[in-house]
Each structure stands twice: as structure tokens, then as C-alpha cells.
Amino acid sequence: MQSDTTIINNETSTVDLYNNTANSWVREQAISLSDFTARPFVLQLCEPISQLRVLDLGCGEGYCSRELRRRKAAQVHGIDISQGMIAAASLQETNNPLGITYEVGCATNLSQFNDGELDLVVAVFLFNYLTIAQTQECMREIVRVLQPGGRFVFSIPHPSFPYMREAAYPFYFQVDGSGYFSQRDQQFAGRIWKRDGSWLNVQLIHKTLEDYFNSLNIAGFTKMPMLKELRVTPEHIALDESFFRPLEDLPLHLAIQISK
């Protein structure tokens, strides 16, 4: 397998990556690996959703925004740094109106929201595109915009996963060597496959588990988080053994819920 090239400027490369591939992400049903192994479990952590004011931060083309609205959220607002992704999300909203609003924006600056304006902030695979400093800045903003008792639910690639298997189908990040601690804040390219045999290019700015929990603490979260280690389940293998079996018994993602 040909290795991907590591890119240094994370903000520019992320925008370019998703502007160029936005249409490849558009779907109305689960197709990519993490649509099965992560997003359903993240949405479960968001419940109860009914009548909540929700921000989907790093919303991409709106897959989770649409599901949050279908689960009766009172308001859903999606923000993404990629103009291409927001255009794709807006087109989906035009074709099938659900009352979701979208805008191009930066996860580290939520000045369009007042203090305590939101009940729930969701960030599905956002932080693997942010540095440690950007993660801390983003989480500070999330604390600010959440009302007291509001919840923050997010998912990340499991920090240990890239160091536990070779770069291979159906999901990988191409890390350089085995420096789990020494490679903090370095960016690596990766791929995640769809069940139809195509793949999506993704990226990882590596952070340790300690980095994430330190960021939550620095931001001002003080309550005990709920953490789920997400993996391939027997149900996944029963659905499509050839697709899911290569990742059996590996920690793929983390889903975390924490209250303000």
C-alpha cells in the first residue's frame, strides 16, 4: 500500500482535504467504518435529545446534524471549517428540509453564541484535526456556550490505535514509528474505508489520553466524564465479516460525555 504524505499546516490542509472530497462524504445511511463503529454509540450518549438546543461542531456534510434533528432536537446548528462540507450540508437541507442551520466557522471561536446558550455540544471526530493548544481553546469555548448542566459529547480515534496495527484496510493512520509520547502534536495521514470498497482520506494530530483529559480540566470541566471504548462488535462481524474482522479486538475510537 502506498503511504500518504504527512502534511504540516493542519488548518490549511484540513480545509483543502475536505473541500476537495466533500461530495464523497455525503450519505443518508451508514457506509463508512465509523458510521457503524462510532456514530451510533455517540448518538446514544447524546440522548435524551428531544427539545435540546444543539451545536454539531465539525459537522461535515451534516450526517449527524440530520440524525440529531430527527431525534427531535429543538434546534441544530452545524459548523465546519470546510466551505465544501457546508455547501454539501446546505444542499442536503435544501433537498430535504429539517430546519438545520449551517455555517462555515472555526471550532476555536464560537463568538456567535452567547454564554450558556446551548444544551448540548457534539463534536464527532473533530479533535483529531486540532493541536493540543487548539483543543484547549475549543473546549474553553464549549464550556462558555453550554448552560449549567449542559452536556458535551465527542468522539476521537483511540489514541493507542495507530500504534497497534500496520497501515492497512479498512482503517489506519500512517504514524512514523512507535513514539506514542514523542509524537504528540504531529500530524499523520490516514484512510477509512466504506463497505463499497472505496475509501476516505482522513488525518490525525496525535494526542495522548492525558492530553484530552488535561484539556477538559483546563477548559473548566470539573465533573467525572463517561467514557466508552468503541470497537468492532459481534453484530458488526455478523453483518459483514470481511469488512469488520480485520479490526476485531482493537480499540478503534473513544466516545466521551461530560456535563458542565
Q: What sign does the dihedral 238-68-103-106 (CA atoms) show?
A: negative
Q: How much is the average pLDDT of 184-192?
A: 96
Is the predicted pLDDT of residue 11 greater than 70, yes or no? no
Distance CA 196, CA 104 (A): 30
> Chain centroid to CA 50: how far?
22
Q: How many secondary structure helices (H) and strands (E) does the chain include?
A: 9, 10
Q: Give the residue-averaged pLDDT of 227-239.
A: 98
Q: How far apart are CA 251 and CA 161, in angstroms?
A: 6
Q: Which residue ranges form the domains of the chain, and what is each CATH number?
A: 10-23+31-259 (3.40.50.150)
User: What is the per-residue pLDDT across 197-225, written as a single tens digit (0 to 9) for each?
Assistant: 999 999 999 999 999 999 999 999 999 99
Element at 205 (helix H, strand E)? strand 199-205
Residue 29, pLDDT above cutoff 50: yes
Total residue length of the chain? 260
Q: Average pLDDT, stretch 128-141?
A: 98
Judge if pTM exceeds 0.75: yes
Q: What is the pLDDT of residue 178?
A: 83
| Residue 168 DSSP symbol | -
Mean pLDDT along residues 64-85: 98
pLDDT at 246 over 60: yes
- Mean pLDDT over the full length of the chain: 95
